[in-house]
Amino acid sequence: MNTIQISLSAKNYADALVKLAQDAQISYDDIYKNLEIAKEIVTSSPDLVSVLLNPTIDDNTKYAIIDEVFNNQIDVKIIDFIKILIEKKRFNEFDGIVEAYRIELDKINNIKRVEVTSAIILNEDTKQRIINKLQNKLNKNIIASWQTNENIIGGLVIKIDDDVIDSSLKNKLESLSKNLSL
Protein backbone atom coordinates (compact mmCIF):
# COMPACT_ATOMS: atom_id res chain seq x y z
CA MET A 1 0.00 0.00 0.00
CA ASN A 2 1.00 3.60 -0.33
CA THR A 3 3.33 5.21 2.18
CA ILE A 4 2.79 8.79 1.03
CA GLN A 5 2.70 11.30 3.87
CA ILE A 6 -0.52 13.31 3.85
CA SER A 7 -0.33 16.74 5.44
CA LEU A 8 -3.27 18.67 6.84
CA SER A 9 -3.12 21.06 3.88
CA ALA A 10 -3.16 18.09 1.45
CA LYS A 11 -6.34 16.87 3.18
CA ASN A 12 -7.83 20.35 2.89
CA TYR A 13 -7.08 20.51 -0.84
CA ALA A 14 -8.55 17.01 -1.27
CA ASP A 15 -11.67 18.20 0.56
CA ALA A 16 -11.88 21.12 -1.88
CA LEU A 17 -11.85 18.61 -4.75
CA VAL A 18 -14.65 16.64 -3.06
CA LYS A 19 -16.62 19.90 -2.80
CA LEU A 20 -16.00 20.50 -6.51
CA ALA A 21 -17.65 17.14 -7.25
CA GLN A 22 -20.49 17.80 -4.80
CA ASP A 23 -21.21 21.02 -6.67
CA ALA A 24 -21.71 18.79 -9.75
CA GLN A 25 -19.00 20.57 -11.70
CA ILE A 26 -17.16 17.30 -12.38
CA SER A 27 -17.76 13.75 -11.09
CA TYR A 28 -15.77 12.20 -8.25
CA ASP A 29 -14.37 9.53 -10.55
CA ASP A 30 -13.48 12.03 -13.28
CA ILE A 31 -11.54 14.10 -10.75
CA TYR A 32 -9.60 11.02 -9.68
CA LYS A 33 -8.91 9.92 -13.26
CA ASN A 34 -7.65 13.41 -14.10
CA LEU A 35 -5.48 13.54 -11.00
CA GLU A 36 -3.98 10.15 -11.87
CA ILE A 37 -3.22 11.29 -15.44
CA ALA A 38 -1.63 14.48 -14.13
CA LYS A 39 0.37 12.49 -11.55
CA GLU A 40 1.59 10.10 -14.25
CA ILE A 41 2.70 13.01 -16.45
CA VAL A 42 4.43 14.74 -13.54
CA THR A 43 6.09 11.52 -12.35
CA SER A 44 7.45 10.79 -15.82
CA SER A 45 9.07 14.22 -16.08
CA PRO A 46 11.46 15.23 -13.30
CA ASP A 47 12.31 18.35 -15.33
CA LEU A 48 8.68 19.45 -15.21
CA VAL A 49 8.64 19.01 -11.43
CA SER A 50 11.87 21.01 -11.12
CA VAL A 51 10.39 23.88 -13.11
CA LEU A 52 7.08 23.88 -11.23
CA LEU A 53 8.85 23.88 -7.87
CA ASN A 54 11.51 26.43 -8.83
CA PRO A 55 10.87 29.67 -6.92
CA THR A 56 12.91 31.74 -9.38
CA ILE A 57 10.49 31.03 -12.25
CA ASP A 58 7.46 33.32 -12.14
CA ASP A 59 3.97 31.86 -11.81
CA ASN A 60 2.78 33.09 -15.22
CA THR A 61 5.55 31.11 -16.92
CA LYS A 62 4.56 28.07 -14.87
CA TYR A 63 0.89 28.57 -15.84
CA ALA A 64 1.86 28.65 -19.52
CA ILE A 65 3.85 25.44 -19.08
CA ILE A 66 0.93 23.80 -17.27
CA ASP A 67 -1.44 24.82 -20.08
CA GLU A 68 0.98 23.45 -22.68
CA VAL A 69 1.63 20.14 -20.90
CA PHE A 70 -1.87 19.35 -19.66
CA ASN A 71 -4.05 20.85 -22.41
CA ASN A 72 -6.20 18.11 -24.01
CA GLN A 73 -4.88 15.68 -21.36
CA ILE A 74 -7.00 16.59 -18.33
CA ASP A 75 -10.11 18.64 -17.53
CA VAL A 76 -9.66 22.40 -17.34
CA LYS A 77 -10.94 22.39 -13.73
CA ILE A 78 -8.04 20.17 -12.70
CA ILE A 79 -5.62 22.34 -14.69
CA ASP A 80 -6.96 25.33 -12.74
CA PHE A 81 -6.56 23.35 -9.52
CA ILE A 82 -2.89 22.68 -10.35
CA LYS A 83 -2.44 26.40 -11.02
CA ILE A 84 -3.87 27.16 -7.58
CA LEU A 85 -1.32 24.77 -6.08
CA ILE A 86 1.42 26.68 -7.93
CA GLU A 87 0.06 30.03 -6.76
CA LYS A 88 -0.18 28.89 -3.13
CA LYS A 89 3.29 27.24 -3.28
CA ARG A 90 1.73 23.83 -2.53
CA PHE A 91 2.58 21.89 -5.69
CA ASN A 92 5.14 19.93 -3.65
CA GLU A 93 2.16 18.31 -1.90
CA PHE A 94 0.52 17.09 -5.13
CA ASP A 95 1.13 13.36 -4.45
CA GLY A 96 -0.26 13.73 -0.93
CA ILE A 97 -3.33 15.54 -2.27
CA VAL A 98 -3.98 12.78 -4.82
CA GLU A 99 -3.65 10.14 -2.08
CA ALA A 100 -5.88 12.12 0.33
CA TYR A 101 -8.49 12.46 -2.43
CA ARG A 102 -8.33 8.70 -3.12
CA ILE A 103 -8.96 8.03 0.57
CA GLU A 104 -11.97 10.38 0.54
CA LEU A 105 -13.26 8.76 -2.65
CA ASP A 106 -12.94 5.33 -1.01
CA LYS A 107 -15.05 6.58 1.92
CA ILE A 108 -17.68 7.97 -0.44
CA ASN A 109 -17.79 4.67 -2.37
CA ASN A 110 -17.69 2.51 0.81
CA ILE A 111 -14.40 0.91 -0.23
CA LYS A 112 -11.78 -0.59 2.09
CA ARG A 113 -8.32 -1.43 0.76
CA VAL A 114 -6.56 -4.41 2.30
CA GLU A 115 -3.24 -6.21 1.84
CA VAL A 116 -3.35 -9.99 1.86
CA THR A 117 -0.12 -11.98 2.18
CA SER A 118 -0.05 -15.73 1.69
CA ALA A 119 2.71 -18.33 1.56
CA ILE A 120 1.68 -19.42 -1.93
CA ILE A 121 0.06 -17.80 -4.96
CA LEU A 122 -3.70 -18.01 -4.47
CA ASN A 123 -6.07 -18.96 -7.27
CA GLU A 124 -8.88 -16.59 -8.25
CA ASP A 125 -11.57 -18.66 -6.51
CA THR A 126 -9.70 -18.52 -3.18
CA LYS A 127 -9.07 -14.79 -3.59
CA GLN A 128 -12.77 -14.20 -4.24
CA ARG A 129 -13.76 -16.23 -1.15
CA ILE A 130 -11.38 -14.14 0.99
CA ILE A 131 -12.78 -10.91 -0.48
CA ASN A 132 -16.36 -12.10 0.14
CA LYS A 133 -15.59 -12.95 3.79
CA LEU A 134 -13.93 -9.57 4.32
CA GLN A 135 -16.84 -7.75 2.65
CA ASN A 136 -19.32 -9.52 4.93
CA LYS A 137 -17.21 -8.86 8.04
CA LEU A 138 -16.43 -5.20 7.29
CA ASN A 139 -19.64 -4.35 5.40
CA LYS A 140 -17.50 -2.60 2.78
CA ASN A 141 -16.48 -3.18 -0.80
CA ILE A 142 -12.99 -4.67 -0.67
CA ILE A 143 -10.07 -3.91 -2.94
CA ALA A 144 -7.27 -6.31 -2.13
CA SER A 145 -3.61 -6.23 -3.04
CA TRP A 146 -2.04 -9.69 -3.01
CA GLN A 147 1.49 -10.64 -1.99
CA THR A 148 3.24 -13.91 -1.39
CA ASN A 149 5.81 -14.54 1.31
CA GLU A 150 6.92 -18.13 1.78
CA ASN A 151 8.35 -17.24 5.21
CA ILE A 152 4.85 -17.22 6.72
CA ILE A 153 4.78 -20.99 5.95
CA GLY A 154 0.99 -21.19 5.59
CA GLY A 155 -2.19 -19.26 6.33
CA LEU A 156 -2.73 -15.56 5.71
CA VAL A 157 -1.67 -12.19 7.01
CA ILE A 158 -4.31 -9.54 6.32
CA LYS A 159 -3.56 -5.85 6.86
CA ILE A 160 -6.51 -3.49 7.14
CA ASP A 161 -5.37 0.07 7.77
CA ASP A 162 -3.21 -0.26 10.90
CA ASP A 163 -4.74 -3.58 12.00
CA VAL A 164 -3.09 -6.91 11.17
CA ILE A 165 -4.91 -10.23 11.26
CA ASP A 166 -2.15 -12.82 11.37
CA SER A 167 -3.40 -16.38 10.89
CA SER A 168 -0.10 -17.54 9.48
CA LEU A 169 1.43 -20.84 10.55
CA LYS A 170 4.64 -18.96 11.41
CA ASN A 171 2.73 -16.76 13.87
CA LYS A 172 1.00 -19.77 15.43
CA LEU A 173 4.33 -21.59 15.83
CA GLU A 174 5.92 -18.52 17.44
CA SER A 175 2.99 -18.22 19.86
CA LEU A 176 3.23 -21.90 20.73
CA SER A 177 6.99 -21.56 21.29
CA LYS A 178 6.45 -18.60 23.64
CA ASN A 179 3.79 -20.50 25.60
CA LEU A 180 6.01 -23.58 25.93
CA SER A 181 8.96 -21.57 27.20
CA LEU A 182 6.96 -20.11 30.10
Q: Which one-letter amino acid corresponds to residue 82?
A: I
List, in order of start, the domains of the chain with CATH numbers.
Answer: 8-107 (1.10.520.20), 110-180 (no CATH)
d(CA 26, CA 20): 7
The torsion region of residue 153 among left (phi > 0), alpha (psi -120 to 50) and beta comes to: left
- Provide the 3-class DSSP secondary structure of residue 163: strand
What pLDDT, in 10s, does the model give residues 135-155? 999 999 999 999 999 988 888
Residue 182 in this model has a pLDDT that exceeds 70: no
- What local confidence, expressed as pLDDT, does residue 153 receive? 84
What is the mean predicted confidence (pLDDT) over 156-174? 86
